[in-house]
Amino acid sequence: MSALTVFTAKRFYTMEPTLPTATAVAVLDGQVAGVGTLADLAPWLDAYEHTIDDTFADKVVLPGFIDPHLHPFLPAVLSQMPFVAPDPWSLPVGDYPGATTPEEYWALLEQRFAAHDPSDGPFFSWGYHPLFHGPITRSDLDSRLSAEVPVVLWHRSFHELFFNTPALAWANIEGPDSLPEQPEVRACVDLAGGRFWEAGLMAVMPAVQGRFMAPERIGGGLMTVAEMAHRGGLTTIADMGTGLFTTPEAEAGILSMAFERDETPFRLLMTPIETAFIGDGSTPAQALERCLALEQTSGSKVFFDKHVKLMADGAFYSQAFKLCAPGYIDGHHGEWIVPPEVTTQMAEAFWGAGYQIHIHVNGDEGAQFCLDLLESLFNGHPRIDHRFTMEHWGYCTEDQNRRLAVLGGQVSGQPYYVHMLGDKYSEVGMGPDRAHQISRFGSLVGRGTPLALHSDCPMAPLEPLRLAWVAANRETLSGESIGTNECLTVEQALRAITIDAAWILRLENEVGSIRSGKKADFTVLDADPFEGGADGLKDIGVVATVFEGRVQPV
C-alpha cells in the first residue's frame, strides 16, 4: 500500500467554490486524496501509513500556477543576449534595468556592446522599442556602434529585427535579389533601413536560427526558461506556437529532451502553429495529418492534446495589429500575419477534426475577422464545448466582447499590454479613449466569458502574480492606473492563473484547483494574496512549488 503525505499550511486556497479554504491536504501517488482539516482527513490517516509534512505550516498555498501561452524557445534564445528594454528584467542569467528614453537606451546599449567579444559573432540585443527609444536605422547602428561588427537589435515585440550593414552580410542579404520571392515577405522588408518585420523575418531567420538554435546554445537557454518558470510558481505551461523556429517535429524533439525528465517541476502542453505548416508548403489536410502524428510522440511531461494555433493580425508591441475605422491616428495600417483566407482554410480543417483552435488576435479588425470565423465554423459544423480561444485580445470593442460571449468563445489574455503600452499608445497611434481600453478583461469576465492571463513570454515576465497585479490594478509604467472599470478583482485575477487557465487548456479535470482526484500541484507563497489586496500581488514571493506531490523549493 502506498504511503500518504499530508501537507499542512496556514491556509490553502483551493479555487473550489464549495470548499474554498483548507488547512490540510492529503496526497497519495501524486494526486490529491482529501482536503480539509487534519480532523477531516482522519479516515485517510486511519487507513494509510502517513507522514505529516509541516514545512509550509506558516505559509499560504494556492493551486499550481498555469501559464497557458508562452514560447519556450523565445526566452531560451533571447536570454542568450543582453536585454535593453523599457521595462526592467530579472533573469537567472542577470538583471537588466529598464530604459525609457533614447538617452538611457543608447547609454545601456553602448555599454553592452563594449562588453561584447566580436570573436563570438554578431552582437544581438533584445528590447528596442521606437516609442521609448526613438527611431533607429541601419546607418545609426553603423555610425554609433560599429561598421565592422555585425549588430542586430530585436524589437520588444519579437516581430521585428534591425540590422547594421555587416549584419546584413552575415545573414547573406546582399540586395533585393537575396530576398525570398514571396510578395508578402518583400512587403515587410526595408533594406535601406535594415528593418525586417512580420513576414519579412523569413528573409533573415535562417541565419538567426543557425546561431541561437545550435545544440550547444539552446540546451542552456531552455534550462534558463525552466528556472524562470519555477521561480514564477508555475507547474503547468503551454507552448502556444510549436514550430515557430524550426519544424514542429524538431521542436517537439528538443523540448522533450530538455524537459521529459524526473527533475522537471512542470508539465508542458505543445500547440503546433499554423505558420510552420504554411512555411513548408503543407496543405491544411497535411498539417492536420502531421499534428495527429505529433500526438503519438507525447510523453508524461511534454505532450500534445488536440490544440492548434492560428494567426490573424500583427504584433501589439509594434502597432502592427489591425484597427477598424478610424484606424491609427498617423494613418498607417496594421498587417495580417497570415492572409485571412489561408487561416480560414486551416481553421476549417482543424475544426472539423475536433481540435481546439487558438488564434492570435490583437486589434478590433482582427477581432472582427476571428468572430466571423468562429460563427462560420459553428454554423457549418456545430460543436458543443468548442472552446475557441482568442489569444491576446489586445484591443476590442464592448460589442465584440458581447458577441464573443454569445458565440461561446473564450480568451487567453495579455494584461501586460496595459502596463507597458498604455501611456505611449495614449499619445501615439490610438489616443487615450482606445488606449485606456486595452485588455478590457473586467467586462469580459462580467459576461461570464472564461479568461486566463498569460505572459506570452518574453512579451511579459514569466511571473503569474505580476500578471495578476497588472490585471487587478491596470497600472502603467508611469504609475497611472487607466481604464479602472476593467480591473479584475483579486479572486478573478488568481482564478485566471489557476482554475480558469486550466479550463482554457481543457485541463480542468487534472489541474487548476485543489480537490480530490486532481494532481497534487501547489504553489507556496510567503504572504496571503487576499489580505494584501490588489496592489500587494506584485510583492508576494514564491517559496516553493509542489509538483505531483513532490516538493520543489525555489
Distance of alpha carbon 122 from alpha carbon 149, whole angstroms: 6
> 175 is in which domain, residue-wise?
73-212
Distance of alpha carbon 312 from alpha carbon 307, whole angstroms: 17
In a domain, 131, yes or no: yes
H/E run at residue 402? helix 398-407
Query: What is the pLDDT of the chain when averaged over all its residues?
Result: 96
- Tens digits of per-residue pLDDT, 347-362? 999 999 999 999 999 9
Same domain for 237 and 203: no
In a domain, 101, yes or no: yes
In a domain, 146, yes or no: yes
Same domain for 79 and 167: yes
- Tens digits of per-residue pLDDT, 147-205? 999 999 999 988 899 999 999 999 999 999 999 988 989 999 999 999 999 889 989 99
- Tens digits of per-residue pLDDT, 320-376? 999 999 999 999 999 999 999 999 999 999 999 999 999 999 999 999 999 999 999
Sheet of 234-242, strands arranged across: 65-70, 234-242, 267-272, 302-304
What is the pLDDT, as a whole number, of residue 214?
Answer: 86
Q: What is the mean pLDDT of residues 526-537?
A: 97
Domain count, the chain: 2
Same domain for 263 and 149: no
Domain boundary among 305, 322, 341: 305
Domain boundary among 272, 305, 338: 305
Using pLDDT thresholds of 50, 70 and 90, give the confidence band for residue 1: low
In a domain, 331, yes or no: no
In a domain, 455, yes or no: no
What is the pLDDT, as a whole number, of residue 509?
Answer: 98
Distance of alpha carbon 343 from alpha carbon 340, whole angstroms: 5
Same domain for 178 and 242: no
Same domain for 241 and 208: no
Tally of CB atoms within 10 A around 297: 15
Percent of the chain with pLDDT over 90: 94
Cell numbers given for 488: 479584475
Assign residue 148 the CATH number of its domain.
3.10.310.70
Check residue 175 and report its DSSP letter.
S
Using pLDDT thresholds of 50, 70 and 90, give the confidence band for residue 279: confident
Q: What is the mean pLDDT of residues 223-241?
A: 97
What is the pLDDT, as a whole number, of residue 437?
Answer: 97
Residue 110, pLDDT above cutoff 80: yes
Same domain for 273 and 194: no
Going by DSSP bridges, is the β-strand pair 151-155/267-272 parallel, antiparallel, or unpaired? Answer: unpaired
Same domain for 284 and 207: no
Best CA proximity match to 65, nearest among 521, 550, 544: 521
Same domain for 275 and 241: yes
Q: What is the mean pLDDT of residues 306-327?
A: 96
Q: What is the mean pLDDT of residues 106-128?
A: 96
Q: What is the mean pLDDT of residues 400-413?
A: 98
What is the pLDDT, as a whole number, of residue 184?
Answer: 84
Domain boundary among 305, 335, 366: 305
